A and B are shown apart, each in its own frame.
Chain A
Amino acid sequence: MVKVKIGLGGVTEPLVSKNMKTGDWGTEYPVVDEEKCTACKNCEIYCPDGCIKVVEKEGKKVAVPDYDYCKGCWVCFTVCPADAIKMEVKELYKVEVC
């Protein structure tokens, strides 16, 4: 068995969870329709993982998901008032098994 090293009380530096990439957890992922997006930040506020952010892109402010961490939870999709987010199934899951 591996030797587990544990610091006193398991005290850790902040943001070590950055090392924990959760982007492969989801079955679907959000795709933002930049035409429709009004940059209202609803998705940014509601995303439980802080991984969709409104940023400046080619002169226009739009929401951009961070697929390294997005868990595909559908929250942004649900709260978007402009219907700008669509959830797509990842390629992996489209494979048909006979």
Chain B
Amino acid sequence: MLEKAREGSDILIEVRFHGRGGQGAVTAADLLAVAGFKEGYYTLSFPTFGAEKRGTPVASFLRISDKPIVQRDEVYNPDYVVVMDPSLIGVVDVLAGIKKDGMLIANYPKGSEDLKRHLNTDVKVYSINATKMAMEHLGRPITNTAMVGALVGATNIVKLETLKGTIKEWFEDESLAEKNIKLVEEAYQYMKEVCKW
């Protein structure tokens, strides 16, 4: 997507992340805000404020643009939606306002077909079993880095290398950074394969 921007046309990518409090939806948006910034773009990420108790459905937002970002309202018409927790499907209107040519990526173990049926939509939806991947790499069901990897794998909004660099700086604990980088790579490759771009 950002390839277009590099050719000089205006671009504003809007992403909405759905998760539950404690799953790192805010960090997911933040990681991409930093990665986008590293690639020379203006970025803005922010959470839905207040309801950050563990387990409540939360959302966070990301904008990436080649121009300074002036819009600070919530993202109502996302290009991409990322769902970090399968239990949100059917509970939260995850597709609300999504652009016609938009895309939804969900952590959803039952596969893309099932997800598409469930959401009953024409919009592109893809699933990934991020919880399983996170358990394998981190030993904990924290899916935010996996889902960021999946989003980048599906859309290429930033380069994988940039994202990996960002994650390396993000985690103070080096071994944790390494584990997350491996996780991101796996999720990225998986999604790249699924989306076949």
Do A's and B's CB atoms come within 8 Å in the complex?
no
